[in-house]
Every structure is written in structure tokens, then in C-alpha cells.
Amino acid sequence: MSDRRPRLDSLTGLRWWAALAVFAHHMTNFAPLPIHGPLKLGAQGVAFFFVLSGFVLTWSARPGVPVSTFYFRRFARIWPANMVALLLAIPVFVGPPADTDNSWVRPLSAVLLLSVLLLHGWSRDNDVVFSGNPASWTLSLEAFFYLTHPWIDRVLGRAGRRVALGVLFALPVLAAVLYLARSEIPALQDLPRPVLRLWEFCLGMTLAHVIRLGWRPLVPVPLALGALAVVCAGIFLGPITAPEVWANLRLGPLAPVIIPTACALVIYAYGTRELRGIADGSGRGVPPRWLIALGEWSYAFYLVHATVVYGCRVVFGLQPMGWINVLVYAAVLVPSIVLAWALHVFVERPVEKRLRRWKDDRDKRRSAARQAADR
């Protein structure tokens, strides 16, 4: 097994669509469309990110990287851009609420420090979870996932294909049992979000592991996308068209399991299609450059989009529902992308490179000093 696996640009492109789905969800609170109900499902884009994050980190992992180096690289990757985005968000989301129309505004308090430390996602209080930049609650979960990754990956690395496949298919089943049990066992209702959703990250990790072990049955991309579309349609329409069936089958509590599982299927289909294209030299599955670029900016876009959306609502107020709001979507999307590009180009990418270079240089100096001392 080679130390380096091919970069899968198709998954980078998928990051953009997941971020755009979350954007569409938040836009329903500013300029709702007649289909605002289905667009609310865009919030599930974060589930896609959790699964994809576990996949990408495991797929790109290189043996021999110290745990401390892995942690520092993750810090350099997410924290600097998050801090700049938090500063941009404070004027929109922090201050005395003027009226009930801007209930997303929260008072300035020491709670904001939890956002700085990426600990706010551990709270059960939404005023804490969504303090500062409300989009950053997911980073609190990601930080916990990063802490667990080296140790889980070490265990997965010892697992053969059969064991790994068993884990892959067992994870959604165990998650379903957990989510169903939460409605019966009060103690489980208090599980913090990072613990409750760790299985999604592990699902992505295990999926990457079985693929790198050579398990790659054909799943056409249209089939995977169709499955995700059917799942989303069922979750939206089920309670409306067949409420008794929905309740009797207890599908509501299972939605947080079904959606990440469908997301994993999409990630698998896109990733393996691109791998086949790499193997036969056809280049199948590689997205256009503009989509790769948007995917690379997607983290920055995710960080700033809510600030732009709610900032526009502060200035222009809640818009009446109508198809004309498609133009509003476009008008808000463009500056969100521009701001994301600026954050990526001037903060996220250069600061990460500088921090990683500093860490690598320091490690080299320390290694040289130890070798000199041993002579």
C-alpha cells in the first residue's frame, strides 16, 4: 500500500454542493421560496460534511505522521479562518436583541470564549451552541472528531477487509438502535452532540478504509444520487402524506441515521468512479475546475455564509415568500462566494501554510539537535 493515495477531486466538488445546501437552508429564514420546506433539508449538508471529513482524513492519512503533528495540522487548517469568520460574525450575531424578529442575536458574554476554543458544541443550550458565528457549532464537533481520528484509524488499520466491512454495515445499525433508544431512555437524550454524531465521522473513516483495502463494487453515481433524493423526499413527505405510517415505523428518529448513510453511498459512488478513471487513464469523474475551486473555498463559504444571509436580513428585513426570491438567493450567494474566496486566499490557505512550515522547521531543528546530542 503506497503512502500517497490519489487526490479525489470529485469529493472536493461534493463539498461545494453540501455547503450550498446549508446556504439554501439558511436563506429560508430571509427570503423563503414556495419550496422552503424541502430547502430546510439543506441543514443535512452538515451530515454530509461529517461523513466526508472522516473519509478524506482516512483516505489521505500517511503512515508515520506523529499524532501531535496531525493535531497541529488540523488546528492550522480550521482555527485561523474560524477566528476571522467569528470576528466578522460578531456585529451581526452579538448584541442586545432589538425585537423578536432578530432572535438569533445573543448578548455579549464569556460564552463567546467557548466559540474561540471550539467547545460550544458540547452544550445542550442553543444559546451557547449558536453563540458567536452560529455556523461554527459543527467545528466544535469536528475538533472532537479530529482528536479521535488517530486512535480510531490505528484500530481500523489493523482490521482486515471482512472485519472492516462488518464495522461499515454495523455502524448505521448501531446508530439506529441508539437513536430509537433515546426516546425511551432519558439519559441518552443528554448525550452531547460530538458524542452522538461521532458515528457519522467513523462511517466515513471506515468507508475509506474498505476502499483502500480494495473493496470497490460498482455503484453508479445516478443510483447513489437517486437514493439520496428518495431519502430526502421521504423524510419531507412522509409525515405529511402518511403520518400514521411514519409514526408507527418510527422513521422520524431514524432520519439522522438514514441521511448520513445515504450520503456515504454518494461519497462511495463518486470516489470509486474517479478511482476507476484514474486506473484506466480516462479521467472519468474529475469535475470541472470551477467546481473544484468552489469546493476548495467551501470551508470558508460555510464559515461566512450565515453572516451574509442574516446581515442582509438585518438590513432588508424578512422578505415575503415568492419565486422572485430566486433573484435574492443569487444576490446573496455572489457576495458570499466573494467573501469566501477572500477568506480562503488571504487567511485560510496562507496562514495554514505558514503554520505548517513553522512546525516542520521546528521539528527538523529538534531532530537535528537530538541527533547531534547522540553523537
Please give the average per-residue pLDDT across 80-90, as a whole number.
97
The pLDDT of residue 248: 66
The pLDDT of residue 2: 46
Alpha-carbon radius of gyration of the chain: 22
Task: Give 320's DSSP letter.
Answer: P
Q: With bands split at pLDDT 50, 70 and 90, how would you rate the model's confidence at 368?
A: confident
Task: Give the pLDDT confidence of 203-251 residue by residue, as tens digits.
Answer: 999 999 999 999 999 999 999 999 999 999 999 888 888 777 777 667 7
Q: Which helix (H) or strand (E) holds 356?
A: helix 349-374
Give the residue extent of every domain in the chain: 13-374
Task: Give the pLDDT confidence of 259-299 residue by residue, as tens digits.
Answer: 999 999 999 999 999 999 999 999 899 999 999 999 999 99
For residue 253, pLDDT over 60 is answered with yes
Distances (CA, A) of 229 to 21, 43, 265: 13, 15, 12
Task: Give the pLDDT confidence of 305-342 residue by residue, as tens digits.
Answer: 999 999 999 999 999 999 999 999 999 999 999 999 99
**Maximum distance among all Cα pairs of the chain, rounded to whole angstroms:** 77
CB 7 within 8 A of CB 296: no
How far, in Å, CA of 70 to CA of 174, rounded? 29
The pLDDT of residue 1: 40
Burial of 151 from C-beta contacts in 10 A (0-12 / 13-18 / 19+): exposed
Burial of 63 from C-beta contacts in 10 A (0-12 / 13-18 / 19+): exposed
The pLDDT of residue 3: 54
Task: Give the pLDDT confidence of 109-153 residue by residue, as tens digits.
Answer: 889 999 999 999 999 999 999 999 999 999 999 999 999 999 999
Average pLDDT of the residues of the chain: 93
Q: With bands split at pLDDT 50, 70 and 90, how would you rate the model's confidence at 98?
A: low
Task: Give the pLDDT confidence of 24-66 residue by residue, as tens digits.
Answer: 999 999 999 999 889 999 999 999 999 999 999 999 998 889 9
